[in-house]
């Protein structure tokens, strides 16, 4: 991790672009996001609707997912958005170790989502149970119950990493 350069001159201005890794470089970030925006719109031509499914999370992964909607990461400019209804979802984004008490709910959510659909397991817990592996109350990762297309590790994964994963999904989706 690189340390934030001490650029001085008071607090960062909200609205100013800050690199998700911590260093402030508005210009690079601006041009990068403009490029990505164009890519998202012209090359892919479609967006992805994401439905979140919590299978037992400590809420850490949700906190970082919430950060994705702030203006800094601004999920929507990439054509990615969260939806509440499974019927409108292209992606199930799963967080948390798969608890035995939520297995049926996850499977119901999967069944309710129309094909074709992607499943993304976000966070060490959803990848393989994380620190909760081996508990009587936990089955393990999402993959023990439904097929997983993409895993994003971290406890919790920082928003920049989640965003990178979701963008790769967007590109893969455009090719299908």
Partner 1 sequence: MTTASDIVSTAEAEICRPWLRHILPHAGWTALAYASVAEQWILLAHWADTAQAHALFLDPAALTVVPVSTPIENGCYPALSPFLPGAAWYERMIHDLWGHAAEGGTDARPWLDHGTWPHARPMATRPEARSAGEPPLLAGAGQDGAMILPHGPIWGRLDEAAHLRLTLDGPTIQRAEALLGFTHKGTLTLMRGKSPRAAARFAARLSADATVAHSVAFAQATESAMDIGAPPRAAALRIVMMEVERIAAHLDNLAEVGRLADAQTVRTRCGLLRETLLQASETAFGHRLMMDCVVPGGVATDIAEGGPEVILRALGAIASQLESVRRLHDGAVLSSRLSGLGRTGAQLAASLGVGGVVGRASGRAFDVRSLLSLGYGTLTPRLAVRTNGDAAARQHLRIFEIEESLRLVSLALDALPDGPVTVALPHVSGEGIACAESVRGDVWHWLRLDHGQIAAAFPRDPGWALWPLAERVLENAAADDADIIRASFALPASGMDL
Binding site for partner 1 (CB under 8 A): 1, 3-4, 6, 10-15, 18, 20, 22, 51-67, 69-72, 82-86, 89, 96-97, 99-106, 108-109, 131-132, 134-138, 155-156, 158
Instruction: Name, in order, each residue with C-beta under 8 angstroms of 2's C-beta and a sequence gap of 6 or more.
Output: 21, 22, 23
Q: Which is nearer to partner 1, 38 or 101 (CB)?
A: 101
Specify the residue, 106 or 170, whose C-beta has the smaller distance to partner 1: 106
Report what 124 binds from partner 1, ligand SF4, none; CB cut-off 5-8 Å by kind: ligand SF4
Closest residue to bound ligand SF4 by CB: 60
- Cα dihedral sign for 174, 107, 145, 82? positive
Residue 51 or 167: the one with the smaller Cβ distance to partner 1 is 51
Helix, strand and coil percent figures for the chain, each rounded to 5: 45, 15, 40
123 interacts with, out of ligand SF4, partner 1, none, CB within 5 to 8 A per kind: ligand SF4
User: Does residue 128 contact residue 89 with C-beta atoms inside 8 Å?
Assistant: no
**86's tokens:** 């499974």
Residue 16 in tokens: 């100013």
**Choosing among partner 1, ligand SF4, none, which partner's interface includes residue 120 (Cβ < 5 to 8 Å by kind)?**
none
| Residue 140: CB atoms within 10 Å | 19
Q: Which residues bind ligand SF4 (CB under 6 A)?
A: 57-58, 60-61, 95-96, 123-125, 130, 155-156
């Amino acid at each position: 991790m690189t340390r934030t350069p001490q650029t001085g001159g008071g607090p960062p201005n909200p609205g100013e672009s800050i690199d998700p890794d911590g260093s402030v470089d508005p210009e690079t970030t601006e041009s990068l996001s403009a490029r990505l925006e164009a890519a998202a719109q012209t090359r892919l031509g479609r967006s992805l609707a994401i439905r979140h499914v919590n299978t037992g999370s400590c809420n850490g992964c949700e906190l970082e997912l919430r950060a994705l909607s702030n203006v800094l990461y601004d999920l929507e400019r990439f054509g990615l958005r969260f939806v509440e209804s499974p019927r409108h979802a292209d992606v199930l984004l799963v967080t948390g170790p798969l608890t035995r008490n939520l297995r049926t709910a996850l499977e119901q959510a999967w069944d309710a989502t129309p094909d074709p659909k992607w499943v993304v397991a976000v966070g060490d817990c959803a990848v393989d149970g994380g620190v909760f592996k081996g508990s009587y109350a936990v089955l393990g990762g999402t993959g023990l119950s439904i097929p997983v297309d993409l895993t994003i590790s971290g406890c919790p994964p920082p928003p920049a990493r989640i965003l990178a994963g979701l963008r790769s999904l967007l590109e893969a989706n455009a090719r299908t």
